[in-house]
């Protein structure tokens, strides 16, 4: 059965965990879909893991359109979510709409944008025009130069209050889902309980509505230092398909992420 926004909303209401992975091509899309992954995220993380960039900032709209087309061709039932890359939506809601429309035409069924209160108007503009939005708060990789690196967000009382305010404002603006990256697990739980839309975590503990990882990280094939929230799901299995199935099982059972993967 095709996964839709309605499906994801019901999963939250029923307490069933949502499973998401990044995906950049048709072959992996088919394997993930067959393993039961609910959402395929065509992430601008392709800048890091495919292009070898040090950040997501160089990724272009043309590249995102191309990879979204590839993923859509390989997928059958999962929901395809695509990132709007850096400088493709920050200028104005109209700019965001034009580029989001390109991703939807390429096969995306939802788009993801980074930012809190500053993106409320844009989220409302897109949602009112039939484009579902996943809001991305907490650590925002496109703002890595502002943060001075990839650092945990929401650690202080002030930061936590800002994040909670942002999440509610984005939901009220029409966001269909909220993704939280690298924030304390207890804060992610509080935000999740305050929202009626599903939440997805990456480095945000187990008490969110779903989880996402970068596929190369969870397969253990991306070189370099691994983030605390990453687990290699190739351990103990004999195939990539087995790794995807193991990830789906552990997310559904809420055994991943464990305490050692959380902040």
Q: What residues act catalytically?
A: 181
The token pair at 205 is 């503990």
In angstroms, the CA 135 to CA 119 distance is 9
Is 62 labelled as part of a ligand binding site? no
- Using only C-alpha atoms, the chain has a radius of gyration, in whole angstroms, of 17
Is 194 labelled as part of a ligand binding site? no
Is 17 labelled as part of a ligand binding site? no
- Residue 217 makes CB contacts below 8 A (sequence gap 6+) with 49, 226, 227, 230
Q: How many beta carbons lie within 10 A of that of residue 85, not counting itself?
A: 25
In angstroms, the CA 175 to CA 110 distance is 10
Is 14 labelled as part of a ligand binding site? no
The token pair at 19 is 């499973």
Is 25 labelled as part of a ligand binding site? no
In angstroms, the CA 203 to CA 169 distance is 22
Which residue numbers belong to the known binding site for 3-methyl-2-oxobutanoate? 44-45, 83, 112
Which residue numbers belong to the known binding site for Mg(2+)? 44, 83, 114
Which residue numbers belong to the known binding site? 44-45, 83, 112, 114
């Amino acid at each position: 059965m095709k996964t839709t926004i309605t499906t994801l909303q019901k999963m939250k209401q029923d307490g069933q965990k949502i499973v998401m992975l990044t995906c950049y091509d048709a072959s992996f899309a088919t394997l993930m879909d067959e393993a039961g992954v609910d959402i395929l995220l065509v992430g601008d993380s392709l800048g890091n893991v495919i292009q070898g960039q040090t950040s997501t900032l160089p990724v272009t709209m043309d590249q995102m359109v191309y990879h979204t087309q590839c993923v859509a061709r390989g997928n059958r039932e999962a929901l395809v979510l695509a990132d709007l890359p850096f400088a493709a939506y920050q200028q104005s809601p109209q700019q965001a709409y034009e580029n989001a429309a390109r991703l939807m035409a390429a096969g995306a069924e939802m788009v993801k944008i980074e930012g809190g209160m500053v993106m409320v108007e844009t989220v409302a503009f897109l949602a009112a025009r039939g484009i579902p939005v996943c809001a991305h708060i907490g650590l925002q990789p496109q703002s890595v130069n502002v943060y001075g690196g990839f650092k945990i967000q929401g650690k202080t009382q002030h930061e936590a209050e800002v994040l909670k305010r942002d999440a509610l404002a984005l939901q009220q603006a029409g966001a269909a889902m909220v993704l939280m990256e690298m924030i304390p697990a207890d804060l992610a739980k509080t935000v999740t309980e305050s929202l009626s839309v599903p939440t997805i975590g990456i480095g945000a503990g187990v008490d969110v509505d779903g989880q996402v990882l970068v596929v190369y990280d969870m397969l253990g094939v991306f070189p370099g230092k691994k983030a605390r929230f990453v687990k290699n799901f190739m351990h103990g299995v004999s195939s990539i398909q087995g790794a995807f199935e193991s990830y789906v099982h552990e997310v559904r059972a809420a055994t991943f992420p464990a305490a050692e993967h959380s902040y």
